[in-house]
A and B are shown apart, each in its own frame.
Chain A
Amino acid sequence: MLEQLAGGALTLFSDPLSIGIFFAGLIGGMLFGAIPGVNMLTLGAIFLPFSGILSASDAIMFYSVLYCSGTYGGAVTAILFNIPGSPENAPTAFDGYPMTQQGQAGKAIGAAVLCSSLGGTCSVFIMIAFTPLLADWAIRAFGPPEIFALVFLGISVASSVGARTLWKGWLSVLLGLMVATVGLDPVAGIERYEFGFVYLLAGIHFIPLILGFFAVSEVFVQAERRVVGIYRMHAVSAKLPSLLEFWRLKIAVIRSVLLGFFAGILPGIGATLAAFLSYNEAVRWSRTPEKFGTGRLEGVVASETANNAATGAAMIPLLALGLPGGALTAMMIGVFQMHDMEPGPLVFINSSELVFVVFAAMFFANIAIFVLGYLEVKTVTQLLRIPFQFLAPAILLLSTIGAYAVRGLATDVLVMFAAGIIAFFLRRSGYSVAGIVLGVILGRLGEQNFAQAMQILSYDMGAFISRPIVALLIGAGVLTIAINVYRALKGTRRGLGVKD
Chain B
Amino acid sequence: MSRLCRITAFALGSLFGLTLVAPAIAAEMMEKPGGFPERPLSMIVPYGPGGGSGQVSRAMIQGVKDATGIDINPDYKPGGSGMVGLKTYMAAPADGYTVLEHIDDATSAFAIGKSKIHPAKDLIPLVISQITFSQIYIRSKETRFTDWGSFVKFAQAQNGKATIANVSGEGSMERINMNRTAEHFGFKIQQISFDKGGPRYAALKGGQVDALFEQPGDVRGFLESGDFKPILTFLKERPAAFANVPSMTDVGLKFTPLMRFRGFYVHKDVPAARVKYLQWAFQNGYHADSYLAFNKKKYMDLIPSFRDTKGAKQLIDDTMKIYKKTYKEMGLIQ
Contacts and interface: CB of A to CB of B under 8 A. Distances in A.
B266 interface: no
A143 B55 CA distance: 24
A337 interface: yes
A478 interface: no
A489 interface: no
Contacts of B14: 50
Interface in A190-229: 190, 198-199, 201-203
Contacts of A322: 201, 221-222, 225
A199 B91 CA distance: 6
B156 interface: no
A345 B201 contact: no
A143 B203 contact: yes
A241 interface: no
Interface residues of A, number: 63
B170 A188 contact: yes
Given A324-B198, A455-B192, A456-B208, A342 B221 contact: yes
Interface stretch (B4-12, B128-136, B232-240, B279-287): B4-12
B3 interface: yes
B160 A458 contact: yes
Contacts of A317: 198, 202
Given A140-B207, A452-B192, A333 B71 contact: no
Contacts of A267: 50, 196, 198-199, 202
Interface stretch (A148-156, A178-186, A246-254): A178-186
B81 interface: yes
A139 B42 contact: no
Contacts of B191: 455
Secondary structure call for the B interface: helix
A132 B202 CA distance: 14
B151 interface: no
A17 B8 CA distance: 10
A87 interface: no
Given A139-B202, A456-B192, A184 B17 contact: no
B252 interface: no
A53 B79 contact: no
Interface of B: 1, 3, 6-7, 9-10, 13-14, 17-18, 42, 48-50, 54-55, 58-59, 61-62, 65, 71, 73-77, 79-84, 87-88, 90-93, 97-98, 109, 114, 160-161, 163, 169-170, 190-199, 201-203, 205-209, 220-222, 224-225, 227, 290, 294, 297
Interface of A: 15-17, 42, 45-46, 48-50, 52-55, 58, 138-144, 183-190, 198-199, 201-203, 267-268, 317, 321-327, 330-331, 333-334, 337-338, 340, 342-346, 407-409, 452, 455-456, 458
Sorted from nearest, which 9 A-B pairs have the closest CB atoms?
Answer: A189-B80, A330-B49, A139-B206, A143-B208, A189-B83, A342-B221, A184-B80, A267-B198, A202-B88
23 contacts: A53-B13, A186-B79, A188-B80, A188-B169, A189-B114, A201-B88, A267-B196, A268-B198, A268-B199, A317-B198, A322-B221, A323-B205, A324-B50, A324-B198, A326-B49, A331-B58, A333-B50, A334-B55, A334-B59, A337-B58, A346-B224, A408-B98, A455-B190
